Structure 1
């Protein structure tokens, strides 16, 4: 980890989709500027559709795993960004600045494989656009 870079932590409840996608997207586009992490309160396995949707844009997270926020408790972050949409995002105290952005949880979609995958694509695209906008507008 490069100590000259700002640390950013993305959080959602399970660290299985939204926070994993945000971490990977920010790393792939602006990794030279930031140390990027993700975690959750109740980590579960990284969602296969999150993996597949990122692979579509040439980002490989097949080796990623979901992490509990406890592993970050002694680490300082410039930004902690919560991505939950149900109002139950955890608060993480070790941040200079807390940001919240609600993204619909693609894990909640019901339907066939195509419907579910399309929801993950949509979420991925929304996260990517939001990250680029945040960087270009100097918010982070």
Structure 2
């Protein structure tokens, strides 16, 4: 029988919904997944956008109360904020109770807060699946270090990864502008990075946007961050060109010029 997992936070509007969608994607054949809140307030639209942006299914995600679950038994009850943990630490009929405290993206001024929260919860869940299941889905196998370092050895791939890490998400035409390279070359390198699991893509209209894969190993993600921190000169010119770009594509509906859309 599949083990039952319940994710709990106060409002059941962001973090617990993300965790539910992520675990279903990673190991839905091994775990029966639920989420609930101690004071549910409805799913934040930005949560659904973040889930869909990571290529996951957001259908059926609704905010619900812990009380609505009755006396159902759960093998794991995982709280995602300290308040919910305090209120549910004596959950009836529960097996293992785990406390994960992630900052609430709704209160953050960071425009990428929801995406970053998805990334952080995804990293934690990958470890949870590894520890608590007998098999690991092929989608969450760690990227071999040799493949990671080979990816960084090419200048175009390295700069693309650093730009995406810096900006949170970029499309092909933005990378073309920043790196002053033609579309076929950019697309070829992005395809390799996506194939090896360093990038995740999402389609919006006729464009494909790329972000760092949420399940990239912590040490690999930290290496990109440290490179940005200690070698800012690498992106000095690319960022200057990117910032001068007119009508940059975005979730708000801007689009690149027709010629580039046709090229892509």
Same fold at TM > 0.5:
yes
Instruction: Please tell me the TM-score bracket, short chain as reference.
Output: 0.7 to 0.9
CA shift at 1:94, angstroms?
A: 2.4
Partner of 1:126: 120
Which residue in the other structure is 1:76 paired with?
73
**Residue number in structure 2 paired with 1:6:** 3
C-alpha displacement of 1:93? 2.5
For residues 109 and 62 of structure 1, the distance between their equivalents in structure 2, rounded to whole angstroms, comes to: 25
Query: Unpaired segments of 5 or more residues in structure 1?
Result: none
Q: CA deviation at 1:64?
A: 1.6
Higher helix share: 2
Structure 2: state its 5+ residue gaps. Answer: 135-264
* Alpha-carbon distance between aligned partners in 2 of 1:68 and 1:29, rounded to the nearest angstrom: 24
Partner residue in 2 for 1:55:
52
C-alpha distance in 2, partners of 1:30/1:63? Answer: 17
Instruction: Kindly provide the CA deviation profile for residues 74-114 of structure 1, in whole angstroms up to 9, marking residues without a partner as x.
Output: 20000000000xx311212221110001101101113xxxx
Three-state SS of the structure 2 residue aligned to 1:137 is: helix
Give the greater-gyration-radius structure (CA): 2
Q: CA deviation at 1:139?
A: 8.2
Task: Spell out the pairing of 1:68-107 with structure 2 (5 A cutoff).
Answer: 68-84=65-81, 87-89=82-84, 90-91=87-88, 92-107=91-106
Deviation (angstroms), 1:137: 2.9
Residues 4, 76 of structure 2: 8 Å contact kept: yes
Equivalent residue of 1:44, what SS? coil
Q: CA RMSD in A?
A: 1.6
Aligned to 2:165: none
- Give the TM-score of the pair, scaled to structure 2: 0.47
How many angstroms apart in 1 are the aligned matches of 2:57 and 2:107? 23
Q: TM-score, normalised by structure 1?
A: 0.86
Residues of 2 paired with 1:133 and 1:59: CA distance?
Answer: 19
